[in-house]
Amino acid sequence: NAGVTQTPKFQVLKTGQSMTLQCAQDMNHNSMYWYRQDPGMGLRLIYYSASEGTTDKGEVPNGYNVSRLNKREFSLRLESAAPSQTSVYFCASRDKGQGNYGYTFGSGTRLTVV
Amino acid sequence: QKEVEQNSGPLSVPEGAIASLNCTYSDRVSQSFFWYRQYSGKSPELIMSIYSNGDKEDGRFTAQLNKASQYVSLLIRDSQPSDSATYLCAVIAGNTGKLIFGQGTTLQVKP
């Protein structure tokens, strides 16, 4: 099925470990986004990529890096995980076509840092 | 001031009633507004988008936009227990294309 695929779905890390969250979309969308969601905080933008080859910081970029590998894939890397990065991470892509500017979200990655 | 604000609730309504969810935003140049529904443990799902002042209806859902007051609302008619979820208001910030979310309102529809 067409959509946004995130891997892994669940992950437990120890403080200081690194990992990469993967995201791929097959809808030919130009723009891709990484959000984190914490209880009572809504979704907060970490990084985004308006088009292949470009990335920009969002509201909460500290402690993260991203790579827009190609038009389909946008990865999020935690170089040295901290307990404050325990969260649910959502990847999204955007259709800028006529009449639809909404985002499509992946199913999320639930990350716990102990 | 947060860019997008919602009352976190919970908002509790009886089955069959109208649920009214409200949202305000701070960026006057915003042009695109969205309502997402999120069930517990699931990803957000787009249910309404609105770009012009006035009302937009889709089935039991009506989105209302008032740009002068910087106010967006969502009405759910004939509320059902299956509508119980968190509703997220989201705004595309200015000309950046970035989607900014409110903290969400939890709706409980009681049978």
CB B103 to CB A41 under 8 A? yes
DSSP string, B21-49: EEEEES-TT---EEEEEE-TTS--EEEEE
- Which residue of chain B has the CA closest to A90? B43
Of B34, B98, B102, the CB nearest to A45: B98
pLDDT band for B54, please (50, 70, 90 cuts). very high
Q: How far is CA B63 from the centre of its chain?
A: 8
Out of A1-5, A79-83, B88-92, B105-109, least confident range = A1-5
Residue A91 is encoded by which pair of tokens?
């990847």
CA closest to A48 among chain B residues: B98
Q: Select from A112, A114, A102 the least CA-distant residue to A36.
A: A112
Would the pLDDT of B2 be above 90? no
User: Mean of the pLDDT values across residues B51-57?
Assistant: 94
Structure tokens at B106: 């939890």
Q: pLDDT digits over B55-81, tens only?
A: 999 999 999 999 999 999 999 999 999
Please identify among residues 23-42 of chain A the ones whose CB lies closer than 8 Å to any CB of chain B. 31, 33, 35, 40-42
- Stretch 60-89 of chain A: residues touching chain B, C-beta under 8 Å: none
B44 vs A94: CB contact, 8 Å cut-off? no
Q: Which residue do the tokens 């999020």 mark?
A: A76
Q: How many CB pairs under 8 A join A and B?
A: 50
Which residue of chain B has the CA closest to A106?
Answer: B43
Q: Which pLDDT tens digit goes with each residue over B18-49?
A: 999 999 999 888 888 999 999 999 999 999 99
Of B4, B32, B100, the CB nearest to A101: B32
Which pLDDT tens digits describe chain A residue by residue (114 residues)?
569 999 999 999 999 999 999 999 999 998 999 999 998 778 999 999 988 889 999 999 999 999 998 999 999 999 999 999 999 999 999 876 645 567 889 999 999 999
- Lowest average pLDDT, out of B48-57, B69-78, B94-103, goes to B94-103
Asked if A114 has any chain B CB less than 8 Å from its own CB, the reply is no
Q: Which of B21, B99, B105 to mutate to test the interface with A (most CBs of A within 10 A)?
A: B99
At A55 the pLDDT is 95
Q: Give Cβ neighbours of residue A1 (< 8 Å, ≥ 6 apart).
A: none
Burial tier of A39 (Cβ tally within 10 Å: 0-12, 13-18, 19+)? exposed
